[in-house]
Structure 1
Amino acid sequence: MTSPAGPLQLTVAIPTYNRADFLRQTLAGLARQDFPRGSFEVLVIDNNSTDHTRAVVAEFAGSTPAPRYLLETKQGLDHARNRAISEARGDILVFADDDILMSPDWLTQLVAPLFTDSAHRVGAVGGEVIPVFPDGLPPWVAEWHAPLAFRADAGPLIAKDSPMGANLALPKWVFEKLGLFHTALDRAAGNYFSGGDSEMIRRVRAAGLEVWFAPAAAVQHQMPASRTTFRYASRHAFDSARSRVIDRAGQPGAAAYFFGRFLGNLGKTLGFALLALLNFLIARPGEAKKALVRAWRSCGYLYQIPRSLVGKI
């Protein structure tokens, strides 16, 4: 892939759902990028928002490039991502969450490994994701929120490390070769499923391609108060476990994996529930909440494994 000068090179895709005010900040950051203005486009894929998302996009009509608004009526993050792939005119797709903040050199740093990859060995590049908390961070959830910090310089990742879909670039030829995102694995209104991005990364690696990390392409991922509550944390843990089971169902050895996970999580559910009770009794509510969240994660496995064994989501 050549340098960023010249014709359209990048498509920045922002799926969004009812986060208009955060989206405004993300679009403002894109308007300040130092990447050549005529070399990238911005797509905002509205996944049936009921707030003022469309009006926020219209506020940036005078930007260069002006964001293009797309309505995707099939509910779900990966339906929105796949719509972006079908509409993209750039050679590289950059997927960004609708609540990130970035520095002016973000795009330049993120796609640099792809522009020097003339042999098509690199299938994906992820940037650093740093959680920030505009409304504060309750101590009991702090251990679950930290930067990725996979490596200090740009380069390939080891197999156990996977970048996040909040800050991820893939060449368009990867989708032509490997197909689109798996729409059963990511969130839609009413659930907190996750895993569409990691499942795509697994396909990239299975095809013999490298997955890189670019720490200088850092974004701040805003986490409002609504995402640091016990209700959110427990539901997210439950649905994340369900996502892992759904993803594993299509892989070799799934039955043995399910058997082991089911038995293991029976014990974990009871153990974490008892630990939560003990912490409540000795007036340690934060530790009790953490134990209950872990119990809910185990319940997610127990709920989804029998469903996946009979082919249900």
Structure 2
Amino acid sequence: METKPEKIMISVVVCTYNRCDVLALCLDSLANQTLDKNLYEVIIVNNNSNDNTEEIIKKYIAKNNNFRAFIELEQGSSHAKNRGAKESNGEYLAFIDDDGKAFPDWIEKMKKFIDTHPDVCAFGGPYVGISSKYIPFWFPKDYGSWSLGNYEKKINFPKEWLSGSNMVFKKDIFWEVGGFDVKKGPIGKSFSYGEDTFLLYKLNNNRISIWYTPEVKIYHLTAEHKLAFNWIFKSGYNAGKVDEMIFNHKHSLFYYIILFKFHVFKYGIKLVDLKKFGENIYRLFHTLSYDVGMIVNKVKEKYEN
């Protein structure tokens, strides 16, 4: 085994589960970064994949001295991410999804931000959506992409947040707040959100500032199933359910029902704009699905108590 560099600044953690078809794109981008390879490492965590993931990982390990890989037997994205953090040698932890593709200077821009903002312990950047399939005309024009603008800033959480597919933490602070909550996030084939948002929530509660920088960019694959109509409901519903669970809003069930009706009116009236009819249909159903998710979690909370 190759000797590890004495001083690694950034550990990039890539967790994967049965996505061998996209993993190589991610690992290729990390193997071809502009930053000196002695300053960063790539930690790949295979979360019990049963496809060809392990074979692909071995190929990249053999070719890249700064790549290391582990198998995490506890199923779940949070378990895998925490395992990657535990195995890391860097002062900072950078997380990218296995369906992400880093810009060539992604880690170099990361280092530049760290050098100029040594007191910032949590930051992230935008992603640009890419898709091999045609995105339906009625989806928003920026569908699959995410950004908080063209200027770096301290974010106003929870009104603003970071994308879990492109975020960086100082490792000691990451562990100080407990890392990722293993009860949140996707587990195997089950779909869920929340592990990233809850980590930001814990940081914010500990008065740790969270920053956004537009320079630290990645591409992010818009999977084919996310172009289907039912994804609007599924993603919106889960986001609403998880947000209500994390933030535990003190609003009553009646408030959420009124909010739902308000959104029906707000977005429904926009449907008269035929030029944006499709896009407004998307926003209507996604918002209402989010509201339903919050209502369901509020009802569940009421009956459990």
TM interval, shorter chain, is 0.7 to 0.9
Which residue is equivalent to 2:152?
A: 154
Q: What secondary structure sits across from 2:98 in the alignment?
A: coil
**Does the 8 A contact of 1:123 with 1:204 survive in 2?**
no
Are residues 208 and 302 of structure 1, via their aligned partners in 2, closer, same or farther at CA, if it must alter by over 3 Å?
Answer: closer
Per-residue CA distance 1:255-277 (angstroms, 9 max, x = gap): x32435533355369x48x96xx
Structure 2 length-normalised TM: 0.84
**Does the 8 A contact of 1:110 with 1:127 survive in 2?**
no
Which residue is equivalent to 1:303?
A: 296
Range with greater deviation from structure 2 (237-246 or 289-298) = 289-298
**Does the 8 A contact of 2:100 with 2:220 survive in 1?**
yes
RMSD of aligned alpha carbons: 2.9
How far the C-alpha of 1:71 sits from its partner, in A, is 2.0
Q: Distance in 2 between matches of 1:113 and 1:207?
A: 22
Alignment of 1:226-237 (within 5 A): 226-237=225-236
**Does the 8 A contact of 2:38 with 2:66 survive in 1?**
no
Q: What secondary structure sits across from 1:215 in the alignment?
A: coil
**Does the 8 A contact of 1:6 with 1:39 survive in 2?**
no
Which residue is equivalent to 2:88?
A: 88
Q: Distance in 2 between matches of 1:52 and 1:36?
A: 30
**Does the 8 A contact of 1:268 with 1:298 survive in 2?**
no
Matched residue type, 2:261: G
Are residues 209 and 71 of structure 1, via their aligned partners in 2, closer, same or farther at CA, if it must alter by over 3 Å?
Answer: same
Per-residue CA distance 1:281-313 (angstroms, 9 max, x = gap): xxx78765654444333322222212234559x
Q: Which runs of 5+ in 1 are unaligned?
A: none
**Does the 8 A contact of 1:193 with 1:242 survive in 2?**
no
Matched residue type, 2:91: D
Aligned residues: 294
Which residue is equivalent to 2:253?
A: 259
Which residue is equivalent to 2:134?
A: 136
Matched residue type, 2:8: L
Q: Distance in 2 between matches of 1:174 and 1:307?
A: 33
Matched residue type, 1:53: T
Alignment of 1:84-123 (within 5 A): 84-118=84-118, 121-123=119-121
Percent identity, aligned pairs only? 20
Structure 1 length-normalised TM: 0.82
Are residues 285 and 178 of structure 1, via their aligned partners in 2, closer, same or farther at CA, if it must alter by over 3 Å?
Answer: closer
Q: Distance in 1 between matches of 2:49 and 2:254?
A: 40
How far the C-alpha of 1:125 sits from its partner, in A, is 1.4
Which residue is equivalent to 1:68?
A: 68
Q: What secondary structure sits across from 1:18 in the alignment?
A: coil
**Does the 8 A contact of 2:232 with 2:282 survive in 1?**
no
Which residue is equivalent to 1:240?
A: 239
**Does the 8 A contact of 2:140 with 2:282 survive in 1?**
no
Q: Distance in 2 between matches of 1:289 and 1:104?
A: 33
**Does the 8 A contact of 1:12 with 1:40 survive in 2?**
yes
Q: What secondary structure sits across from 1:13 in the alignment?
A: strand
